[in-house]
Structure 1
């Protein structure tokens, strides 16, 4: 088993009350491909990704984050992680076994320190996918997920200790202290980030496009279509990636991005980025200002699914 049990981010699953509008949003506006549907659950893939699906939408009375799923190298990594988590008192939802979701595989689920359901799996069958062509403004893959937390330092320590995520950079404010922590499980600058917030919730899900031109075309298409834009287009300093944030029909924040930094982990040292400097939020200076309005739009509603595993 490798020292780092997690290899990459697989998919992020949400539950929403306005299910039909969410499904239509992903397939007709966001540029994802519907690859399966069953009893109020729809699976969406990115056409350029080998992952069976990168987002799952479930019909539910209340909005919640159902699941964040990560990949592991092999069964030994999965079994070893499950044994270590159990011995450390982490609550397992189930023991490692065969998965019943598209693509099968072998994995298990558990709760993180704030009660979100996390899945780790291996041997999931690759999906037939294709090259995303020049000027094709649809997501290539899932980039990262950001979680809101009232105790982000505790979250940071938990993901470091139990899943071996490493800190890449931190956003700080001279008067407010730490605001966001970027964490990695591979050489990509971040697959997971934790943002300071009054309550646990989904901050945003980020989708990577082919390149700058495709990212701008996609951002413009969504703005023309009247999808509510929160912030962007711009380019962050931490991670060096582009950003445009939108609200989906259920009030979750979704991001188009590209060009996320790939780092040399042997030489990388985390930096503190002062958010009072405008170039930290947006190197280009093209986005609307990062202010209290933008921050509150990403606070989202308090998560209703803590320490309650989804039914599927």
Structure 2
């Protein structure tokens, strides 16, 4: 098995690099580590990058990077992928801050990078903007969520929850979800989520969005699957961005989530949720449908 342990970065194409960089610096509060006319690298705190932006004719998600467990080399990962019938290429210095990576294209055409090590390049957290803890999770529209869930198990992901049979949640660590997959008629990112520290941080983040005239699409409210308190807005390119806190913590050794007073079951185990009960536990109404 090719075991990964975190979602390290997300790669977007954008026709307006300047506008997206202004958003990530001034609104989200990240550090621009490197940039030229065609590409920019942006960090939440210490990584060389957690967001990668490439100049493109159309906006949208290109792919993402997953970090390998320390005992797995890129060569070993590539060999395992080849044995599993996945065409993969080892690339050197393809991405700044990463000397070596394995690149492949998944079932739905997303470009995935597997890598062993990333340069520590950023100065830490900024003093203005939202300043999230980290990139929390990435949600993808795919042809068949069940098929994608099974596919990503070969990288060490576990299925934690479902919304009915069309939205699957997966983790490769103790976060409730790191990737999730929504069955859709078209390929696109559903949303990218940034983890905040607590509810007061979420409130101050929404005040900051308001000062920057960025409307909230939905929230705050507590979801069912994951139980995270979440809000959603759109970046300048129209990508949906979630800001969340208070998400469930998975204990893989026990197959349960750490108990919380707001859980529906004790112990709380991975389960199948109905759409309405999962989207909001508080009855919050939507400005826009999320599923």
Q: Same fold (TM over 0.5)?
A: yes
Alignment of 1:24-173 (within 5 A): 24-47=22-45, 50-74=46-70, 76-92=72-88, 94-95=89-90, 97-130=91-124, 137-160=130-153, 162-172=154-164
Distance in 1, matches of 2:121 and 2:246, equals: 24
Q: What SS does the aligned partner of 2:276 have? A: coil
CA distance in structure 2 between the aligned counterparts of 1:28 and 1:132, rounded to whole angstroms = 10
Structure 1: 5+ residue stretches without partners: 173-177, 297-312
Which residue of structure 2 aligns with residue 301 of structure 1?
A: none
Specify the alignment match of 2:265 in structure 1. Answer: none
Q: Do the aligned partners of residues 192 and 75 (structure 1) sit closer, same or farther apart at CA in structure 2, a change above 3 Å counting? A: same
Quickly say closer, same or farther: Cα 1:44–1:114, change in 2 above 3 A. Answer: same
Per the TM alignment, residue 44 of structure 1 is displaced from its structure 2 partner at its CA by: 1.0
Per-residue displacement from partner, 1:54-107 (whole Å, max 9, x unpaired)?
A: 111111112232221010123634322211211222122x22x53343323432
Return the alpha-carbon distance in structure 2 between the equivalents of residues 190 and 155 of structure 1. 14
Residue 4 (structure 1) shift: 5.8
Which residue of structure 2 lines up, in the alignment, with residue 206 of structure 1? 193
Q: 1:238 aligns with which of 211, 220, 225?
A: 225
Q: Check 1:163–1:31 CA distance in 2 against 1; reply closer, same or farther (3 A cut).
A: same
Asked if 1:273 is matched to 2:270, the reply is no
**Structure 2 gap ranges (5+):** 256-268
CA-to-aligned-CA distance 1:148-201 (integer Å, 9 cap, x gap): 0121111111111x31211001112xxxxx231110011111110001221111
Deviates more, 1:144-153 or 1:66-75: 66-75
Q: CA deviation at 1:14?
A: 0.2
Three-state SS of the structure 2 residue aligned to 1:28 is helix
1:5 Cα shift? Answer: 1.1
Identify the residue that residue 12 of structure 2 maps to in structure 1.
Answer: 14
Q: State how many pairs are aligned.
A: 278
1:302 corresponding residue in structure 2: none
For residue 246 of structure 1, give the secondary structure of its aligned residue in structure 2: strand
